[in-house]
Amino acid sequence: MTSPADFQTELSGSSGSAGHHATKGSLLLRYIRASQPVTRTEIAERLRIDKSTVTENVKPLITSGVLTESSEDGSVTGRRRRALSFAAGERYFIGVNLGVRRSQIGIISLRGEITDETDFETPSKPEAALIMVRHRIEDIIMQRARGRRTGWSGDRRCTGGCG
Q: What is the CATH number of the domain that holds 121?
A: 3.30.420.40
Q: Is residue 160 part of a domain?
A: no
**pLDDT tops 60 at residue 65:** yes
CA separation for the pair 17, 4 (Å, rounded) = 16
**Share of residues in the chain with pLDDT > 70 (%):** 70
Name the pLDDT band for 134 (thresholds 50, 70, 90): very high
By percentage, how much of the chain surpasses pLDDT 90?
Answer: 32
Q: Residues 121, 52: one domain?
A: no
Peptide bond into 4 cis (omega under 30): no
Domain encompassing residue 16? 4-86
51 in the same domain as 121: no
**pLDDT confidence of 76, banded at 50, 70, 90?**
low
Q: Is the peptide bond before 126 cis (omega within 30 degrees of 0)?
A: no
Residue 72, Cα to own-chain centre: how many angstroms? 23
| One domain, residues 108 and 50 | no
Q: Over range 119-129, report the average pLDDT.
A: 94
Query: How many separate domains does the chain show?
Result: 2
17 and 77 housed in the same domain: yes
Mean pLDDT, residues 15-30: 63
Asked which of 8-12, 18-22, 157-161 is least confident by mean pLDDT, the reply is: 157-161
* CB 53 within 8 Å of CB 44: yes
Q: How many CA atoms lie within 13 A of 33 on its CB side?
A: 14
Residue 73 has pLDDT above 80, yes or no: no
The mean per-residue pLDDT over the stretch 128-133 comes to 95
